[in-house]
Amino acid sequence: MIIAVDGPAASGKGTLARRLAGHFGLPHLDTGLLYRATADGVLAAGGDPEDAAAAAAAAARVDPGRLDTARLKRDDIAQAASRVAALPAVRRALLDLQRAFAHQPGGAVLDGRDIATVIAPDADAKLFVTATPAVRATRRLNELQGQGRPAIYADVLRDLLARDARDSQRASAPLTAVETALILDTSSLNADEAFDRALAFVVCAQSSR
Ligand code: CDP
pLDDT tens-digit map of 72-107: 988 889 999 999 999 999 999 999 999 999 999 999
Is 10's C-beta closer than 6 angstroms to any atom of ligand 1?
yes
Q: What are the φ and ψ backbone dihedral angles of 55, each rounded to 5 degrees?
A: -70, -40
d(CA 106, CA 81): 30
Q: Domain total for the chain?
A: 1
- On the CB side of 68, how many CA atoms lie within 13 Å of its CA? 8
Is 32's C-beta closer than 6 angstroms to any atom of ligand 1?
yes
The tens-digit pLDDT sequence of the chain (209 residues) is: 999 999 999 999 999 999 999 999 999 999 999 999 999 999 999 999 999 999 999 999 999 999 999 899 888 899 999 999 999 999 999 999 999 999 999 999 999 999 999 999 999 999 999 999 999 999 999 988 988 888 999 999 999 999 999 999 999 999 999 999 999 999 999 999 999 999 999 999 998 88
Shortest-distance Cα residue to atom 9 of ligand 1? 32
Is 78's C-beta closer than 6 angstroms to any atom of ligand 1?
yes
Q: Long-range contact list for 91-100, CB < 8 A, 24+ apart?
A: 91/118, 91/172, 91/173, 92/56, 93/38, 93/56, 93/59, 93/60, 94/31, 94/34, 94/35, 94/38, 94/59, 94/62, 95/119, 97/34, 97/64, 98/29, 98/31, 98/34
Q: Which pLDDT does position 150 carry in this prediction? A: 86
Q: Which pLDDT does position 74 carry in this prediction? A: 85
User: Strand (E) positions, 53-207?
Assistant: 108-112, 125-130, 182-185
d(CA 138, CA 86): 26
User: Strand (E) positions, 81-181?
Assistant: 108-112, 125-130
Is 36's C-beta closer than 6 angstroms to any atom of ligand 1?
yes
Strand 2-6 relative to strand 125-130, pairing = parallel
Instruction: Find the domain containing 123 and state its range.
Output: 2-207
CATH number reported for the structural domain that contains residue 9 in this entry: 3.40.50.300
How far is the centre of ligand 1, averaged over its atoms, from the C-alpha of 76 (Å)?
13
How far is the centre of ligand 1, averaged over its atoms, from the C-alpha of 112 (Å)?
6
Q: Which pLDDT does position 189 carry in this prediction? A: 95
